[in-house]
Amino acid sequence: MAKEEKPKIKMAVYWGAACGGCCVSVLDVHEKLFDVVAAADLVFWPIALDIKYKDVEAMPDGDIDLTLYNGAVRNSENERLAKLLRQKSKILVAYGSCAHMGGIPGLANFSTREELFERIYDTTESTENPDNIRPQPEYKVPEGVLELPEFYNDVRTLNQVVDVDYYLPGCPPQTERLVEVFMAIVTGAELPSKGSVVGALDKSQCDECPREKSDKKLVKRFYRPFEIEDDGKTCFLEQGVICLGPATRGGCGVRCIEGNAPCRGCYGPPPDVPDPGAKMMSAIATMIDENDPEAIEKVIDTIDDPAGTFYRFSLPGSILRRKIT
Amino acid sequence: MEEEKRIGVYVCWCGTNIAKMVDVVDVAKEIGKLPNVVIAKDYKYMCSDPGQELIIKDIKEHNLDRVVVSACSPRIHELTFRKALQNAGLNPYMFEMANIREQVSWVHTDRGEATRKAKSLVAAAVNRITWHESLDKRTVDINPATMIIGGGIAGISAALEIGNSGRKIFLIEKENKLGGHLAGVDLTFPYMYSADQILKPLIKQVTNNPNIEVFLNTQIDEVFGYVGNFETKITPGDGKEVELKFGNVIVASGLKPYDPGGIENYGYGKLPNVITSLEFEQMLKKGKIVTKEGAEPKNVAIIHCVGSRNKDYHEYCSRICCMTALKFSNQLRSALPDTNIFECYADIRSFGKGCEEFYAQTSRKDIMFLMFDQKNDLPRIRKAETMDECDMLIEFNELLSGEDIEVPADMVVLMVALEAQENARDIAHAVGVSMCGNEFYIERHPKLDPVATTTDGVYVVGGCQSPKDIPDSISQARAAAARILATINIGQVEVEVTTAVVNEDICCGCQTCVNVCPYTAISFDEEKGVSVVNEVLCKGCGTCGSTCPTGAIRSRHFTDKQILSQIEGLMSTSIELQEV
Amino acid sequence: MTGIIFTKVDNGYSGALDYNELFFYAKGIPGVGPVWYSTDVPLYDKQAMADLIKEQQLKRIVVAGDTPGMVKPFLTGAMVIAGNNPEDVVLASFREYGATDNTKIDRAKGILFCIALGVTFAEAALPEETDVQPDTLVIGGGIAGIQASLEIANGNQKVYLVERTGTLGGHMAMFDKTFPTLDCAACILTPKMVEVGQHPNIEILTYSEVKGVTGEPGNYKVKILNKARRVDLATCIGCGICTEKCPAKAPSEFDNGTTLRKAIYIPFPQAVPNKYLIDADSCTYVLKGKCGVCVKVCPVEGCIDLDAKDQEMEITVGNIIVATGFKPFDAGKIERFGYGKYPQVITSLELERLINAAGPTEGNIHFRSQDKKGNWIFSVESGMPKSFAIIHCVGSRDENYNKYCSRVCCMYSLKLAHLIKEKLEDADVFEYYIDMRAFGKGYEEFYERIENEGIHIVRGRTAKIEERNGRLMVRSEDILNDQLIEQEVDMVVLSIGLEPREDAAELAEMLGISTEEEGWFTEANYNTDPVNTFVGGITIAGVCQGPKDIPDAVAQGSAAAARVLQSIVKGKIKKSIKDMPLEKIEEKAKQFSNSMEGKS
Amino acid sequence: MKEMSQYGMGTWNACFHCGNCTAVCSLTEEGILFPRKEIRALQMGLEDKLATSVEPWLCYYCGDCTETCPRDANPGELMMSVRRWLTAKYDWTGLAGLFYKSLSALIIAFVLVAIGIVAMGFVKDFNSEAVMYFGHILEFYLILTVFTIILIPNILRMFYFTVIKAKVNAPFGSYIAAIGNLITHMFTQVKTLKCDKQTVRWLEHFLLVMGYLGLLVITVFLDWFGTENQIIIYMGYITGGLVFVFTFLLMISRLSKARELNKYSQPTDWFFIIWLFLMGFTAFLVRLFIDIDLLNDHFWIYMVHLIVVSQWGMLLVPFGKWTHFLYRSFAVSFANLKKAALIKKLATAA
Amino acid sequence: MSYEPTIVAFLCNWCSYTGADLAGTSRMKYASNVRIIRVMCSGRVDPTFVLSAFKEGADGVLICGCHPGDCHYHEGNYKCLRRYHLLQKYFQQMGLDKDRLRLEWISASEGRQFAELVDSYTETVKNLGPCKMKQVIETLT
């Protein structure tokens, strides 16, 4: 098929506090990578290309057409790059759950930096650190000063640091969705309004979920997935298993549920929901089939870690953002 | 982008009630600086006619589209001001009230603090009203016909009450004749009127009334629709299906007697001369009180509370048995002047008009009242020996004397409890009323709304709601008739405007909301895969809105946005002002 | 042939009908054979009676009297022995249609005539219809009156609601919680009051009384006295400064005398209308001609007019609903209980106010004590009792006071016991009852619950209360445990019964409706017409017809409204049964009788 | 029940067992509950229970129970009727029952006695001295006979019914104590004082009893009509006067039915009072006539006195209400036995 | 140093808001720290509202509804109760003292109880000290 010749767009991919899965998801386009390369020049992608920060700094502002920023903002380097890329990019996309809502790294907001350091540099079973050495942003050595990015106390989402144009959720995002979005941009289709979530549906998971659902959502106790024998077809909630599907956008192709695991919420909240964890807590609590305070407590005690369960991917992006001390 | 919003804010002095504790002038001045606020004024009495006039004038002059009044409790004057807005041509829901009297000036003592709080409340109201939207009152046309389920005395009374005003009635009876239990009764307590003479003319009136259509041998399967517009299909005895359309439903399906066979102590079914109160009533009607052997009984024992007031059977009191039993004693005394009559009771509950007096009279008629322990120690009836000169003996511990006694009896009348009809659950399901544990229908409010149900347009009257005597049943039947006549008279019924609404583009069909609704207003549309709120049934409590995990349900006039911005307004101002 | 037997069984419902006159009238009714007094026939020997029936060839017997049903079973038996149909013993009950005294002898004759001809009185004595004025008057602003008013007003019809006191609410507003659900009375009542207050179709006339009624069914002219409130309803802003400054005090009616209120006052915070009023009997200005502090402090010019006079107004209505309620039994009448003598003997209504969070003691139970001026009131300053006796049936079920059962006391006593326990967990509560009348929906279950709450429920009427060791000794027999109990308690609660209001007879006279012996208004038919009267367009609802609990009173309020709405929807109203001339009834009865024969 | 209605006016069926009567009574105490239990026993026909109960005797008929009865069931009158029935029950001759139930039997007996006395007078030629001597002896023996043949056996029967048959198991010591309070109660009936507002009535009753006993002693043992001893003569006047004045007052109050207890009086009650009055009055007149020397001319007055005394002694004392005086006093003792038994029972139970 | 906490209160329209009005009409005095938001039913109180209040700087949140069994809408208050308990557990994990959130039943006649509740709860929150949530959120690094 002959393609209209269009100037290639400039594209960057960066990872902040991330696991790398998002970058892999970009690679997962497989043979479509050729289409991508045909349409775009990758001007920055630390995981794949040897382009230095200073090269980016040298670019004129707004030179990059599209930047996919994945990962949360955990340290000064993340923050610096987020700001830098914002400056250099026309469109900045928060790519993946971490950039979107904090993601799994965001769970660190249940702890302070000190607690994290203590765990990592002291109390882990395999650590020997009798001198209580901690990473320092600057360390003088005879050769000069060694620098390390500063590890922040909090994990932040991308939009808590810079202005974000679009959000492409998922842990990682579905590759097809990425391609769709990418194609929309390169073909110059009309883009959605700024701040939109792209590459996901407005409707929640349940809309796509193949499991049988009814209105009988009354729960006498909650189970973790391994505690019950899943019948493979009934709605998880009706079986007492907490599934964040109703408060999570569709678009992932119900991957977890197809694998008989309840949804954990990586695709983030549907429109108009500022805090999916709060909505889900509300819905889940309403399902408790008890009216007596003590009985209610008992049911709730079967939810091991509510904050971790309801905010697995969204703690930094939630209303309260982090634990306070 | 967002359209411009033009808010007018009015701060009331309420004489000195507010002004004494709140610097109303300052409040108005500060609030006037907020975005979207076009004017902010203070006035002595906002609720007074000149106060309302002021608002109306400003709306027109300044082209206001939203109004905030900061004065007393909205419970007192919200309606007043909404009307004023309406008069000025604004939608009444473009109004918000900040309560700075009941919740500020009357309860606080520091003027500075009170003023600060007042500001934050008004700021919150201004924030909130930014998100208000016009809501239109909705009405539903009422079909003037009424369906009544049950042709007993309650159903008949309701039918006549409405039918006599010239409105259509469909009276559905499952048996082959009207009259219900009253048709089997000889005399009524406490004045011993003839039940026949009461009932027959009423039935005649029903059958002669051209507005009342009676369907005998008919059951109700399913009723569709909502208040004002119900419909159902019935198949009367002749087998031809009929479709009925009606605006209201009265359920008067009555009760059925308890089967005492389940109480071993009483030997009903085994001892031939142990009979139920209904069987005895038949004897009275026929004028022949005889044992199975054909002789007039020398000793008759009447046992109260059979199946009532006992955890093993029904815990509730059946309300009419005491009086019926006393009536039986009187009838027996008349029919068989020399017979020994024993009333075995637990408490005599002769509470109605003329009833205690009836009890007093009865007790003077040489009738032996014996008390037993209904909750723990029921009497036991056994066949007597030949030497006992009676058919049966009833053993129990008599509580008033403390003696263990044996009461001779040739006939034992069991005052059986009244319980829900067998098809009570089906009817409940068909018309959408709830049942309590005893399968009696639940009224909307046990005190202030004893005949309406949580389903608008559906009423429950008479025994099906709990056991009752004739006058109480009739009062209830007429109470339901009143409600229906009122709605028919208006022809329309207003439905709640501040209802919940589902955004079908968002709703994912998880159905979490469906059961949350106490009014069954939410149903699941299988085809679209979304929940649907029936706005006629919705009462606007908003519980579904806070339950919906997808944010698809919006509680009109109490939306997330409105409340969240209200919170924001409340807090931002308070903090700013605290720093001052 | 039809025979008539007049019963003179003395039921205690003695009527002063002239039976002799009826006896002779009966003889003249067509188709009637022998007429007897019951004393003339063998009423204790069925066989002899049967023989007499056969001998006289009677096919039908009419038993006539006040409550002739009392002898019906005997006669039915005799009829069966004589080989006749048991259904042919029919009753001509004078009481059933209100012919209880000789002024209504024509009605009694009518009843006799109809029944003898096999026609029911109700169908023959069906009055003609006439046009009806659409407006309705409701007398009494308690829960029954409120309910009736709302029903009608919601049917888009105008209602005048006349209330004697300064606010709507009636007795229910005084209660704390309501049995058996324990929801608070104010929570459920005040919204209704507000609804009435704001209803465009309801005109509330508080502090007003009905002074005269003329006209006829469908078109009554009612004279209403608006007592001088001395505070202008239109301009009073309810600020309360007047009350603050008013120097005069009197016992609070709303708090049932448990505390004092000022001479200018609002009956209670949620009163409707929420406006002040001046009690002329305690106002210094009215009594002594000088004071006027309230006028000086009132922020609204001209709002208070201390010299205001009572005014009269006249309205025209088509229907009148009477919902005047009751008055509580005066516990002082029973000397043995020492009410009025021992300060800690209180009435149930007083306790109701004490327990109410908005009451004089903010919802806590305190002893009655004397304030500085010597008034006996309840205040938070005095101590709290630890043990209570609740005595049922005070003034009820008693030949010496009221014979009838007041229907609500058992349940409210159980409720009070529960509420005491709720307030004072360690309190000992003793209930003394005769029969526990827990008959309504959920009532028995409530009783069961209370029994399990550690409340001592004793079957035995308390006979006397005496002071002993500075406490109150309550003497009762515990019948079920064969004991005599001399229980010493700190406080005794008398569960007082309900009585007709003092002015019930006067009102009945004005409206032309009948009352029972005790003074309750009489309904048109005990069974089938519980809210109508013999006067067209006048219905009765709530406790004024006889004691009842809230749901029953509410149901009656609505039921009364039904008849009003029916007439308005139809545009026609039935005239009074009471005014039906005998000839007319006879004529109608003959017509019906003939048409029936024609059919059969 | 039907039988009982012959001993008094009963509406006891109306009783709905509220327990008011028992609780209002000032004489009830733990273990001694009446009159509701008596009503119940009666309603249910528990004759044995009634016959063995001592409680009816403990009632002094103050009338509180009847006055306050919510059902107008008249428990006070029931207690009175039960006492009459018990009197008949204790009486081995059966005459007491006959007289209660049949007014004509009573009148016939009265007439027979009167005829007997007149006949005796006739035999003695109406010689005043002979007749008076005979009268004196008669009185003496009458008392002796009535006591030994009728009253003592009857009291033993009462003891049998109320203590032995009722299986009262009292400790021995309490028997001795019981005798003590028997004496006090017999003369003072001090228990009445426990009744509310009964002081006046008790005083009346006490003076009457004192007058009656005094008159008895003075006429029978001190030979009032024969003596010259001025003290005895004056004492006689006083006691005689006491008797007829107070009986007269009693009669007036009965007629005016002022007090609750007097609302329902049986014929035997009237005989009792009238004869007591007559006895005092005629005795008074006889001595007066002796003192003013009129007796010989008006000897009939003595005859009348003798007839009255004989009827009193032969009929009213052994078979009439007089016995209440005796039974009641014993009842107090027996009741104490019961109480002692109860305490013992409770003690052993504990 | 004394600080004045800010408390956001959510009151149901039928019982608690009326009860608060009654406290007003009865001129009962209570701490001015409370700011009332009216909802139709305590069942309308979304956890989002509660969290937002803290985000906006509230030091405590009070929810009041009808007593159990008295709910104008039958069971809304039970729904609220269930959410309250779950929120409490969440709060503990978020380092918020459980006393920062309080649920109480106030009937329409309990004006006095409402006033007392406000006073005692204000005292409780005062003792907890200022809630750092807003500050923390605004200064995340």
Q: Does E139 touch chain A (CB under 8 A)?
A: no
Q: Percent of chain D scored above 90 by pLDDT?
A: 7
**Based on the domain organization, do B73 and B129 belong to the same domain?**
yes
Residue range C128-226+311-325+501-579, CATH number = 3.50.50.60
- Show the tokens assigned to B217: 């041998």
Counting as contact any 3 or more CB pairs under 8 A, the partners of D are: B, C
Instruction: Please indicate whether, in this complex, the C-beta atoms of D30 and C398 are within 8 angstroms of each other.
Output: no
Q: Which residue has the higher pLDDT, C20 or B215?
A: B215
Which CATH number applies to C329-499: 3.40.30.10, 3.40.50.1440, 3.40.50.720, 3.50.50.60? 3.50.50.60
**Whole-angstrom distance, CA of residue A187 vs CA of residue B246:** 60
Q: Which residue has the higher pLDDT, D201 or B92?
A: B92
**Based on the domain organization, do B433 and B541 belong to the same domain?**
no
C113 contacts C584 by C-beta, under 8 angstroms: no
Average pLDDT of the segment spanning B381-387: 90
Looking only at the bridges linking them, the beta strands covering C219-226 and C311-317 are antiparallel
Chain C nearest-CA residue for B331: C73
Number of other CB atoms surrounding residue C131 within 10 Å: 12
What pLDDT does D4 receive? 56
Average pLDDT of the segment spanning B455-461: 91
Please enumerate in sequence order all residues whose Cβ is within 8 A of that of B562, keeping only pairs 6 or more positions apart, or say none.
B128, B131, B132
What pLDDT does D263 receive? 54
Average pLDDT, chain B: 91
Strands (E), C46-181: 60-65, 89-93, 129-131, 136-139, 159-162, 177-178
CA distances from C596 to B206, C116, C118, C127, D47 (A): 17, 14, 9, 20, 60
Average pLDDT, chain C: 92
CATH number reported for the structural domain that contains residue B338 in this entry = 3.50.50.60
- Residue B394 belongs to a domain: yes
Q: Could you give all domains of chain A from N- to C-terminal order, each with its CATH number?
A: 9-105+153-197 (3.40.50.700), 115-151 (no CATH), 205-310 (no CATH)
- Read off the pLDDT of residues B270-317 as tens digits, 9 standing for 90 and up: 999 999 999 999 999 999 999 999 999 999 999 999 999 999 999 999
Specify the fold of D97-342.
Answer: Fumarate Reductase Cytochrome B subunit (1.20.950)
* Alpha-helix residue ranges (DSSP H) falling in B336-453: 355-363, 424-431
**Model confidence, pTM:** 0.79
Q: List C residues 356-385 in contact with E (Cβ-Cβ < 8 A).
A: 356-358, 362-363
What pLDDT does C14 receive? 53
Average pLDDT of the segment spanning C557-574: 92
- Read off the pLDDT of residues B37-91 as tens digits, 9 standing for 90 and up: 999 999 887 877 678 889 999 999 999 999 999 999 888 788 889 988 988 999 9
Q: Does E82 touch chain A (CB under 8 A)?
A: yes
Number of other CB atoms surrounding residue C227 within 10 Å: 18
Instruction: Please indicate whether, in this complex, the C-beta atoms of A279 and E89 are within 8 angstroms of each other.
Output: no
Number of other CB atoms surrounding residue A134 within 10 Å: 14
**Based on the domain organization, do B275 and B382 belong to the same domain?**
yes
Chain B nearest-CA residue for A276: B549
Please enumerate in sequence order all residues whose Cβ is within 8 A of that of A54, keeping only pairs 6 or more positions apart, or say none.
none
A136 contacts A190 by C-beta, under 8 angstroms: no
**Whole-angstrom distance, CA of residue C232 vs CA of residue C303:** 5
Q: Does C551 touch chain E (CB under 8 A)?
A: no
What pLDDT does B159 receive? 97
Q: Does A25 touch chain B (CB under 8 A)?
A: no
> Is pLDDT of B579 > 80?
no
B304 contacts B325 by C-beta, under 8 angstroms: yes
* Alpha-helix residue ranges (DSSP H) falling in C165-250: 185-198, 241-245
Please enumerate in sequence order all residues whose Cβ is within 8 A of that of C433, keeping only pairs 6 or more positions apart, or say none.
C392, C393, C410, C413, C457, C458, C459, C460, C461
> Is pLDDT of C455 > 50?
yes
**Whole-angstrom distance, CA of residue D260 vs CA of residue D252:** 14
**Based on the domain organization, do B53 and B113 belong to the same domain?**
yes
Specify the fold of C2-125.
Answer: Rossmann fold (3.40.50)
Contacts made by residues A222-231, CB under 8 angstroms, sequence distance 24+: A222/A284, A222/A299, A222/A302, A222/A303, A223/A302, A224/A304, A225/A261, A225/A262, A230/A260
Q: Does A296 touch chain E (CB under 8 A)?
A: yes
- Residue B220 belongs to a domain: yes
- Residue B140 belongs to a domain: no
Cβ-based contacts of E111 with chain C (< 8 Å): 269, 357-358
> Is pLDDT of C240 > 50?
yes
The answer to whether the complex's ipTM is over 0.90 is no
CA E69 to chain centre: 20
Instruction: Please indicate whether, in this complex, the C-beta atoms of C269 and E70 are within 8 angstroms of each other.
Output: no
What pLDDT does B357 receive? 94
Q: List C residues 435-494 in contact with B (Cβ-Cβ < 8 A).
A: 435-445, 448, 479-480, 482
Average pLDDT of the segment spanning C553-567: 93
Chain A nearest-CA residue for E76: A286
C75 contacts C41 by C-beta, under 8 angstroms: no
Please enumerate in sequence order all residues whose Cβ is within 8 A of that of D70, keeping only pairs 6 or more positions apart, or say none.
C393, C397, C398, C399, C400, C461, D16, D18, D20
What pLDDT does E37 receive? 96
- Read off the pLDDT of residues C319-344 as tens digits, 9 standing for 90 and up: 999 999 999 999 999 999 999 999 99
Average pLDDT, chain A: 92
**What does each of the 141 residues of chain E score in pLDDT, given as a tens digit?**
478 999 999 999 988 998 898 888 877 899 999 999 999 999 999 999 999 999 999 999 999 998 887 787 878 999 999 999 999 999 999 999 999 999 999 988 788 899 999 999 999 999 999 999 998 888 877
End-to-end Cα spacing for chain B:
34
Average pLDDT of the segment spanning C143-164: 96
Give the sign of the dihedral formed by CA D22, CA D25, CA D26, CA D32: negative
Please enumerate in sequence order all residues whose Cβ is within 8 A of that of A198, keeping only pairs 6 or more positions apart, or say none.
A93, A166, A167, A168, A177, A181, A184, A192
**Based on the domain organization, do B436 and B414 belong to the same domain?**
no
- Read off the pLDDT of residues D244-283 as tens digits, 9 standing for 90 and up: 888 888 778 777 655 555 555 667 777 788 888 888 888 8
For chain C, the domains span 2-125, 128-226+311-325+501-579, 228-309, 329-499
B578 band by pLDDT with thresholds 50, 70 and 90:
very low
D10 band by pLDDT with thresholds 50, 70 and 90:
low
**Whole-angstrom distance, CA of residue C272 vs CA of residue B89:** 30
Average pLDDT of the segment spanning C360-381: 91
**Whole-angstrom distance, CA of residue C484 vs CA of residue C463:** 11
**Based on the domain organization, do B271 and B410 belong to the same domain?**
yes
Cβ-based contacts of A106 with chain E (< 8 Å): none
Q: Does C9 touch chain B (CB under 8 A)?
A: no
Average pLDDT of the segment spanning D52-74: 88
What pLDDT does B575 receive? 39
**Based on the domain organization, do B283 and B353 belong to the same domain?**
yes
The length of chain E is: 141
What pLDDT does D231 receive? 85
What pLDDT does A5 receive? 60
Note the maximum CA span of chain A: 70
Q: Which of A282, A293, A307 sits opposite E47 (nearest CB)?
A: A282
Sheet architecture: strand order including B392-397: B380-383, B392-397, B404-409
Architecture of domain D4-91: Orthogonal Bundle (1.10)
Chain E nearest-CA residue for A306: E90
- Read off the pLDDT of residues B156-172 as tens digits, 9 standing for 90 and up: 999 999 999 999 999 99
> Is pLDDT of C419 > 70?
yes
The SS3 assignment for A85 reads helix
Chain C nearest-CA residue for D70: C398
The SS3 assignment for C387 reads strand
Average pLDDT of the segment spanning A34-42: 85
Nearest CA to CA, how far is B531 from chain A (Å)?
10
Radius of gyration of chain B (CA): 32
Instruction: Please indicate whether, in this complex, the C-beta atoms of B357 and C403 are within 8 angstroms of each other.
Output: yes
Chain D nearest-CA residue for B367: D13
Residue B404: exposure state from Cβ atoms within 10 A (0-12, 13-18, ≥19): exposed
Chain D nearest-CA residue for C397: D70
Counting as contact any 3 or more CB pairs under 8 A, the partners of A are: B, E
Q: Do domains C2-125 and C329-499 have the same CATH topology?
A: no
Q: Could you give all domains of chain E from N- to C-terminal order, each with its CATH number?
A: 7-138 (3.40.50)
Looking only at the bridges linking them, the beta strands covering C428-433 and C456-459 are parallel
**Whole-angstrom distance, CA of residue E141 vs CA of residue E136:** 9
- Show the tokens assigned to D177: 């104590």
What pLDDT does B496 receive? 77
Q: Does B214 touch chain A (CB under 8 A)?
A: no
Residue with tokens 């205001």: C308
Range of the domain at B566: 7-135+559-579
Nearest CA to CA, how far is E27 from chain A (Å)?
33
B290 contacts B335 by C-beta, under 8 angstroms: no
What pLDDT does D311 receive? 85
**Based on the domain organization, do B500 and B370 belong to the same domain?**
no
For chain D, the domains span 4-91, 97-342
Cβ-based contacts of B574 with chain E (< 8 Å): 6, 35, 57
B251 contacts B425 by C-beta, under 8 angstroms: no
- Residue B141 belongs to a domain: no
The SS3 assignment for C388 reads strand
Overall number of domains in chain B: 4
Please enumerate in sequence order all residues whose Cβ is within 8 A of that of C414, keeping only pairs 6 or more positions apart, or say none.
C179, C431, C438, C446, C447, C450
What pLDDT does B1 receive? 43
**Whole-angstrom distance, CA of residue A85 vs CA of residue A80:** 9
Write down which residue in B419, B439, B464 finishes a domain. Answer: B419
Instruction: Please indicate whether, in this complex, the C-beta atoms of C96 and B191 are within 8 angstroms of each other.
Output: yes
Chain B nearest-CA residue for C541: B475
CA distances from C303 to C233, C263, C299, E49, E57 (A): 8, 16, 8, 45, 46
CA distances from A307 to C255, C337, D14, D165, E90 (A): 51, 64, 72, 82, 5
Instruction: Please indicate whether, in this complex, the C-beta atoms of E70 and C183 are within 8 angstroms of each other.
Output: yes
H or E segment to which residue B233 belongs: strand B229-234
> Is pLDDT of C358 > 90?
no
Of B53-67, B221-235, C422-436, D243-257, which gets the smallest average pLDDT? D243-257
The SS3 assignment for C540 reads strand
**Based on the domain organization, do B220 and B244 belong to the same domain?**
yes
**Whole-angstrom distance, CA of residue B500 vs CA of residue B547:** 12
> Is pLDDT of D316 > 90?
no
**Based on the domain organization, do B277 and B398 belong to the same domain?**
yes
**Based on the domain organization, do B483 and B542 belong to the same domain?**
no
Among B478, B484, B490, pick the best mutation site for testing chain C contact (most C Cβ within 10 A): B478
Q: Looking at the DSSP assignment, which residues form a beta bridge with residue B418?
A: B257
- Read off the pLDDT of residues C488-511 as tens digits, 9 standing for 90 and up: 999 999 999 999 999 999 999 999
Cβ-based contacts of C186 with chain E (< 8 Å): 22, 107-109
Q: Which residue has the higher pLDDT, B577 or D295?
A: D295
**Whole-angstrom distance, CA of residue A81 vs CA of residue A55:** 12
Nearest to C411 by CA among C427, C425, C397, C431: C431
**Whole-angstrom distance, CA of residue D110 vs CA of residue D120:** 15
**DSSP per-residue letters across B439-484:** SPBPPSBTTTBSSB-SSTTEEE-GGGTS---HHHHHHHHHHHHHHH
Instruction: Please indicate whether, in this complex, the C-beta atoms of E44 and B567 are within 8 angstroms of each other.
Output: no
Q: Which of A95-99, B388-392, D25-29, D169-173 has the highest mean pLDDT?
A: A95-99
- Show the tokens assigned to B530: 């979304």
What pLDDT does B61 receive? 94
Backbone angles phi, psi at B247, to 5 degrees: -100, -25
- Residue B1 belongs to a domain: no
D320 band by pLDDT with thresholds 50, 70 and 90:
confident
